[in-house]
Amino acid sequence: MKKVLVLNGPNLRRLGTREPEIYGADTFDDLVRLCRETGLELGLDVEVRQTNDEAELVGWVHRAADERTPVVLNPAAFTHYSYALHDALAQRTAPLIEVHISNPAAREEFRHTSVVASVATGTIAGFGLRSYVLALRALSELE
């Protein structure tokens, strides 16, 4: 079974309580369950992680590059300013799908810029937790 990392940046463990009018009522545990179930359907071994620490996220990206592991990434707030994350992702050796639960382009102007998009295989945004399902499906078809 092909391994895939689903990496999540800051505040995503707060799903279900953080701005449910934007991010919905589903929890992080719901997201983990959905990703794992989708992975099983697609023949993917999905590991879901979340961190509020930029350095930890960069370390995970480095390991994924070293191991040629495909990544689904919701960089959250790091999307808009983390050049350290951008530089780490530029070293990728397997497909990378950037995901967002909401549609950043339909929100505040500061959210309209992604420093990650230029080094991603593609971006899926605005479909709630289904954004992750669509990303996993895309990865399964790319591999």
Q: Which of 23, 62, 81, 112 is the catalytic position?
A: 23
Is 26 labeled as ligand-binding?
no
What type of residue is 89? L
102: Cα within 13 Å, side-chain hemisphere:
20
d(CA 98, CA 4): 13
Strands (E), the chain: 2-8, 44-50, 71-74, 96-100, 122-125
d(CA 40, CA 38): 5
Is 114 labeled as ligand-binding?
no
In DSSP terms, 44 is beta-bridged to: 2
Give catalytic status of residue 83 as yes or no: no
Is 86 labeled as ligand-binding?
no
Give catalytic status of residue 23 as yes or no: yes
In DSSP terms, 46 is beta-bridged to: 4
Note the Cα 115 to chain centre separation in Å.
14
Is 82 labeled as ligand-binding?
no
Is 74 labeled as ligand-binding?
yes
Q: Which of 62, 83, 86, 100 is the catalytic position?
A: 100
Is 102 labeled as ligand-binding?
yes
Residues taking part in catalysis? 23, 100
Annotated binding site for substrate: 74, 80, 87, 101-102, 111
Annotated binding site: 74, 80, 87, 101-102, 111
